């Protein structure tokens, strides 16, 4: 295994300005000297921007690893914050070359974005206040105030796909949902277990995860629609990342003390299309 990936969180990668002006063209991400990669900025353990502008987390390290395998050094990677609602547009407009941002591959999104991966399969679960006793399962969200980050797919999983009549409240990001949960403005936040675990690790006494996972969230690497050669190169990079042990090391480093069951074998790819 290469040691670079493990050293990255320590050598926090500085974000360059997100406002560099000209849009990159929307051709293939292959052959670039630099890459702009969209990541989350408010999700601990996945994509988090620190006080001096550096981004850290599993998605950030996966992005750097893929970039390096595509021939782009960490110093030539520019991280750009994307919220859930901004991901498709950021790719479409060429503001980013790639999105690695807890981005589930869904049939609807596949009409706008080409997805490599998945590089991991998370599962949707539910975060509640530690003293909440009446929510133990997705069905218990009926009639309760449920928060999701705008543009996320998590409420659809509950309300649209399972027909559970939760009262949806949206916030711009999941960190704002978690603040609303803490302040009693909502009753639950339901999204991917990796996201919830990151927030739980930050405030162990305030919350609990109900531990009743009910979906498979295939985390894809979004690339510009139709960039099939770029997508295939990213898939090769993900395969190599698993085969040389980097993926397992990163999963253990970021989520090893969450108690989650980490799957360390390469996920079944969706195929670039």
| Binding positions for ligand GLU, rule: CB under 6 A | 84, 102-104, 149, 152-154, 191-192, 195, 217
CA distances from 153 to 37, 103, 160, 190, 192 (A): 21, 9, 10, 10, 10
Alpha-carbon distance 41 to 216, whole Å?
Answer: 23
Q: Measured from the CB atom, is 198 or 230 closer to ligand GLU?
A: 198
Alpha-carbon distance 11 to 196, whole Å?
Answer: 25
Alpha-carbon distance 72 to 6, whole Å?
Answer: 18
Least Å from the CB of residue 195 to ligand GLU? 6
Q: Measured from the CB atom, is 44 or 149 closer to ligand GLU?
A: 149
Least Å from the CB of residue 217 to ligand GLU? 5
Least Å from the CB of residue 123 to ligand GLU? 10
Least Å from the CB of residue 131 to ligand GLU? 26
Cβ-based burial of 198 (10 A; exposed 0-12, middle 13-18, buried ≥19): buried
Least Å from the CB of residue 216 to ligand GLU? 11
Q: Measured from the CB atom, is 132 or 217 closer to ligand GLU?
A: 217
Determine how many CB atoms are found less than 10 A away from the CB of residue 7: 9
Alpha-carbon distance 75 to 178, whole Å?
Answer: 33
Phi-psi region of 14 (alpha: psi -120 to 50; beta: other; left: phi over 0): beta
Q: Measured from the CB atom, is 56 or 102 closer to ligand GLU?
A: 102
Q: Measured from the CB atom, is 72 or 238 closer to ligand GLU?
A: 238
């Amino acid at each position: 295994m290469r040691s670079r990936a493990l050293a990255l969180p320590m050598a926090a990668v500085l974000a360059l300005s997100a406002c560099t002006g000209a849009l990159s063209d929307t051709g293939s991400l292959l052959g670039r000297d630099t890459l702009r990669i969209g990541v989350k900025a408010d999700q601990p353990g996945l994509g988090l921007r620190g006080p001096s502008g550096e981004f850290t987390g599993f998605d950030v390290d996966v992005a750097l690893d893929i970039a390096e395998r595509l021939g782009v050094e960490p110093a030539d990677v520019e991280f750009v914050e994307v919220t859930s609602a901004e991901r498709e547009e950021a790719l479409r407009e060429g503001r980013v070359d790639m999105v690695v941002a807890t981005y589930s591959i869904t049939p609807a999104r596949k009409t706008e974005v080409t997805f490599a991966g998945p590089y991991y399969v998370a599962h949707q679960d539910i975060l509640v206040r530690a003293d909440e006793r009446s929510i133990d399962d997705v069905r218990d969200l009926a009639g309760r105030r449920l928060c999701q980050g705008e543009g996320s797919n998590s409420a659809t999983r509950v309300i649209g796909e399972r027909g559970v009549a939760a009262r949806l409240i949206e916030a711009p990001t999941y960190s704002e949902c978690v603040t609303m949960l803490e302040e009693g403005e909502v009753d639950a936040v339901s999204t991917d277990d990796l996201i919830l675990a990151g927030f739980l690790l930050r405030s162990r006494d305030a919350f609990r995860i109900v531990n009743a996972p009910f979906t498979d969230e295939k985390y894809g690497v979004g690339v510009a629609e139709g960039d099939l050669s770029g997508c295939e190169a990213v898939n090769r990079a993900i395969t190599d990342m698993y085969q040389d042990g980097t993926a397992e090391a990163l999963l253990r480093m970021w989520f090893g003390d969450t108690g989650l069951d980490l799957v360390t074998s390469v996920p079944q790819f969706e195929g670039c299309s």
